[in-house]
Structure 1
Amino acid sequence: MAARFRMSRRGVGQLLRSPMVLAEMVRRAEAIKTAAEGIAPVGGPGDPHRGHYKASFFVRPVSRGGRRRDRAIAVVGNSSSYGAHVEYGTERVPAHHVLLRAAQAAGGD
């Protein structure tokens, strides 16, 4: 006799919010953070902010995240005041896309 599976939406929701899934999201976020720190620009010798961007990456676990607040997620970000300028660029500074490249490199681990 073939095995049968009957999905429970409530059960899937509980799984997506479980500590086990949250721990996996944090593990993946830490890998992305490590990759981002490895490729982050640090500035030149006379730069007063030398290394600040690289040292400002963080991981924040969120037990009720996602678009509908129905799953465990982990957020990787940068708390420096100019983090968005480094990531997306300005008219004078080219975009480095540090978090994007880090997520592409380490996100599948």
Structure 2
Amino acid sequence: MPARFKMKRKGVGQMLRMPGMRAEMLRRAAIIRSVAVAISPVYEKGPTAGHYKASWEIDSTTRGGRSRNRAAAYVRNTSYYARWVEYGTEKVPAHHVLLRAAQVGGVNG
């Protein structure tokens, strides 16, 4: 006889608020951050050499759901020019560092 499963919203909500869920979100964010650091381009000239690569950080919070109390983690780059590196400009091609890191980190997570 096949196994049966009946989802209960209350149970899923409890699971998404567990401390272990927040820890897992941080673990996955750390993997994505390490991949992003590894593949970040470094412009050797100028006063900001290596700044982009050194500006990756992770953070966790609670958000989502009716009570805004579900675990979430963020990976971001705090350099002022991070979006130009990610999406490119008319003179510089897009590197998609965060996109590629999330793709690789999601698979390895």
For the aligned pair, the TM-score class normalised by the smaller chain equals: 0.7 to 0.9
| Counterpart for residue 42 of structure 1 | 42
- Rounded Cα–Cα distance in structure 2 between residues aligned with 1:29 and 1:5: 30
State the Cα RMSD in Å: 2.1
SS across alignment from 2:62? strand
- What is the TM-score when the length of structure 2 is the normalising length? 0.86
Quickly say closer, same or farther: Cα 1:53–1:5, change in 2 above 3 A: same
Report the TM-score, using the length of structure 1 for normalisation: 0.86
Please say which of residues 94-103 and 10-19 is displaced more in the overlay: 10-19
SS of residue paired to 2:51: coil
CA offsets 1:15-73 (integer angstroms, 9 cap, x no match): 112111111010000000000000001102x222100000000101012247x945311
Of Structure 1 and Structure 2, the greater helix share is in: 2
Measure the CA separation in 2 of the matches of 1:88 and 1:96: 7
- 1:15 maps onto 2:15 in alignment: yes
Distance 1:49 1:2 in 2: 60
The sequence identity of aligned pairs, in percent, is 57
Counterpart of 2:50 in structure 1: which amino acid? Answer: G
Q: 1:2 to 1:85 in 2, by over 3 A?
A: closer
CA distance in 1, matches of 2:7, 2:101: 35
Distance 1:42 1:55 in 2: 10
